[in-house]
Structure 1
Amino acid sequence: MLKKSILLTMTFIFLVVAVFIISSIYTLYSKKEISFDPKLKEISGIEFDKRDRLWAINDGGDDPKLYRLNKDGSIAQEILVSNAKNIDWEDMTQNKFGHFFLGDFGNNKNDRRWLTIYKIENPIDIKTDTTNAEIIKFTYPEMDGNPIKPSNRNFDLEAFVALGRHLYLFTKNRTEPFDGITNLYKVGDHAANFKAQLIGSFKTCTTMEKLCWITSAALSPDRKKLVLLDSTSIWLFENFKGDQFFSGDVSKIDLGIVTQKEAITFYDDNTIVFTDEEFKGIGGNAYFIKLDKAKKVVVKRALP
């Protein structure tokens, strides 16, 4: 009787786990719209230009190039940023004029003291296969030239947005122990050397760093919604004031099964597009979400 009871219990647990995994897979892959060219297996940033064409960049190790994509995920055009290097390109954003910003600010070991952002003209105005960039440099004053203690390793960066005349940077937390906090810094949006100004912070989760560290960010075209991406979720911020993004309402959208999700943007004010990197045949896709149809879990309401 005891053995039968144990067998039934184990069978029940197996079924629950199987249902959970199948549900998580469906949650993600039901949103899949595009599979990318194999050359783009490490997409780290995406943006739509003013003609609604999708552009992408690869992570570090690739040439300093932008790729314009066809609707089927194949490459339609490549543009080389001739005065740039791709040490660790980690995100892409644009301002209201359509200028693109390319973030060469990956800092896995928290040992890069000066980081770079390349600003290029609106891609619809680039008539050749090369362009030059304005070069924006910045450093974190908190690093102050000393070795970074494990508990302070919060100077990696994979996410930023443009608002007004500033760029807003969301750190990828690598603290030990992991405290789940992304710090928000701002710098100017023009060629200069900046000391990044810390203006806020937000805690995602503390369960496991690879599940809830921030890998990309985007502002809606009307600048009323901010989204942050991690491996399992989209964090949606609304009803904030000015650049105090964490001051308003916060919701969370579950993305299902864990993949290496690295880039997010808005197609329009209601449509979010995010991507994951290809790893052992899994990922390498773009997924679309309609906010008015997404299941959102409220995390925080703004104070009245």
Structure 2
Amino acid sequence: MTQRYFPILLLLLLATVHLNAQSGCTDPMATNYDPTAVVNDGSCVYPVTSLSLSPVTDLTTPLLDENSGLLYLDGQLWLHVDDLDTNLYRIDTTNSTVLESLPVRNAWNYDWEDISSDSQYVYVGDVGNNVGSRTNLSILRFDKAQLSSGAGYVQVDTIRFSYADQTDFTPALDNTRFDCEAFVVVDDTLHLFSKDWVTKRTRRYKLPAQPGTYSIAPVDSLEANGLITSAARSADGAIVLLGYDNVIPAPCFLWLLFDYPGTDFFAGNKRRFSLGSAVTAGQVEGICFTDNRSGFVSNERFQQIVNVPPRLKRFDISAYITAPITAIDDGGLRQLRLLATPNGYVLEHAGIQGEFSLVNLSGRKCREERLGQGSTRIERDRLSSGAYLLTVRSANGSSRTFRIVF
């Protein structure tokens, strides 16, 4: 009886080992990159990295001292502040001149903290709650055509919500777990990221992007090691979470989330960048993309140890993404196989249309050509000893990168 079932058990065991070998860290820039992995399991670990922000302009008008949310739409930059002021401001990004001021007629600014948009609507988050006692949290929504209608104002409808996991509304200034300053919108859903003053772990909530009243529960969470103040999503799915720690020297940071399945943003790659100290760089409050890899960051006036004026800066993350942004429609690239041979490597890519490039770690392109019929040999030839990045791009624009060593 044992002999009869042994082959079956052996096959099951081998299948299990094979399946387990398929998942791991797929990003060559991670310290635990696994070249055998074809499915990203979200385990990538990254070295401590600083991201430089390029100065654009000081936000010199006192109106913008407490700027909080940024929106880049149709080549124009809009922002809002987080206290009482119910205007949306369109500014000149070269000198911070306010080009247009649009009042929101039928809403009050209790604590506007972030702004986002989809193909039809703009969403303004009246979600600030640093005392933890608010019972009137909402997202204001309006058709983005109102920004260019010439009416001179906007009218909003309201998405009201409460946190299903909040039962205590006792005021606790800067000591609540139910503050929020960041959200993004994907399809018909708003994704809110909590600003947890107690644990400094951000929780994600999902909220329908339709007017109504909702009770929302946390979906998942990320050990943010700080307070999340703004979020943005690129057109191709990269998520950035901006934030700072309220303990002096108040380090500022940016989380980059990519290569995640569906909208499970925390299940993919999670890379943190240092942005310096709020003492010198200001307290970062707003972020938006202007293209898939770069955009604007703003800070409000910081007046504690020193007086740091509000500023607009640029960020660029293009050097840090070598893997797919999401696991959706990757052009078949997860079927790629890279096999070592005595003379180099064989890239198996049957059925995949596209091209590949080979770049050394100094950024010099050593080889580039279209994929062959079923496999391509990557041999040492005249290459120097060392590490290289082999990037395959499918016909739909998706890419996957391997790190190889000769």
Query: Which bracket does the TM-score occupy, shorter chain normalised?
Result: 0.7 to 0.9
Which amino acid in 1 is paired with 2:204? L
Distance in 2 (alpha carbons) for counterparts of 1:200 and 1:149 = 24
Superposed CA deviations along residues 255-282 of structure 1, whole A, max 9, x for unmatched, are: 1232211011111101131100023541
- What is the aligned counterpart of 2:313 among 283, 287, 300? 287
- In terms of fraction of residues, the more helix-rich structure is 1
Match of 2:264 in 1: 244
Which amino acid in 2 is paired with 1:153? T
Partner secondary structure for residue 246 of structure 1:
helix
- What is the aligned counterpart of 2:131 among 109, 113, 117? 109
**Cα distance change on mapping 1:136 and 1:254 into 2, 3 Å:** same
1:260 aligns with 2:283: yes
Distance in 1 (alpha carbons) for counterparts of 2:170 and 2:276 = 38
Which amino acid in 2 is paired with 1:196? I
Distance in 2 (alpha carbons) for counterparts of 1:271 and 1:146 = 39
C-alpha contact 1:37 1:73 (8 A) present in aligned 2? yes
- What is the aligned counterpart of 1:86 among 101, 106, 109? 109
How far residue 133 of structure 1 moved from its aligned partner, in angstroms, is 0.2
Identity across aligned pairs (percent)?
A: 28
How far residue 141 of structure 1 moved from its aligned partner, in angstroms, is 1.1
Match of 2:234 in 1: 220
Partner secondary structure for residue 61 of structure 1:
coil
Give the alignment's TM-score, normalised by structure 2: 0.60
Match of 1:66 in 2: 88
Match of 1:190 in 2: 210
Give the alignment's TM-score, normalised by structure 1: 0.79
Which amino acid in 2 is paired with 1:163? V
Which amino acid in 2 is paired with 1:219? R
- What is the aligned counterpart of 1:139 among 159, 162, 181? 162
C-alpha contact 1:27 1:257 (8 A) present in aligned 2? no
How far residue 221 of structure 1 moved from its aligned partner, in angstroms, is 1.6
Which amino acid in 2 is paired with 1:265? C
C-alpha contact 1:234 1:252 (8 A) present in aligned 2? yes
Greater relative contact order (CA < 8 Å, ≥ 6 in sequence): 1
**Cα distance change on mapping 1:169 and 1:84 into 2, 3 Å:** same
Which amino acid in 2 is paired with 1:59? D
Which amino acid in 2 is paired with 1:278? R
Distance in 2 (alpha carbons) for counterparts of 1:267 and 1:251 = 20
Match of 2:55 in 1: 32
C-alpha contact 1:181 1:203 (8 A) present in aligned 2? yes
- Give the structure with higher Rg (CA): 2
How far residue 109 of structure 1 moved from its aligned partner, in angstroms, is 1.0
C-alpha contact 1:37 1:75 (8 A) present in aligned 2? no
Give aligned pairs, total: 258
RMSD: 2.4
Distance in 2 (alpha carbons) for counterparts of 1:130 and 1:76 = 14
C-alpha contact 1:234 1:253 (8 A) present in aligned 2? yes
Match of 1:271 in 2: 294
C-alpha contact 2:165 2:217 (8 A) present in aligned 1? no
Stretch of structure 1 that moved more, 140-149 or 185-194: 140-149
Superposed CA deviations along residues 28-61 of structure 1, whole A, max 9, x for unmatched, are: 5x61112214221111000011x21000001113
Stretch of structure 1 that moved more, 117-126 or 140-149: 140-149
- Segments of 4+ moved more than 4 angstroms: 145-150
C-alpha contact 2:203 2:222 (8 A) present in aligned 1? yes
Match of 1:163 in 2: 186
Distance in 2 (alpha carbons) for counterparts of 1:79 and 1:124 = 8
Match of 1:46 in 2: 70
Structure 2: unaligned runs, 5 residues or longer: 1-49, 245-251, 322-326, 328-333, 335-406
Superposed CA deviations along residues 115-162 of structure 1, whole A, max 9, x for unmatched, are: 011101215443221111011100011123664899x93110100000
Match of 1:21 in 2: none
Structure 1: unaligned runs, 5 residues or longer: 1-25, 206-211, 297-301
Superposed CA deviations along residues 191-230 of structure 1, whole A, max 9, x for unmatched, are: 100111311100122xxxxxx21000011122x2101001
Match of 2:365 in 1: none
C-alpha contact 1:173 1:180 (8 A) present in aligned 2? yes
C-alpha contact 1:229 1:263 (8 A) present in aligned 2? yes
C-alpha contact 1:187 1:197 (8 A) present in aligned 2? no
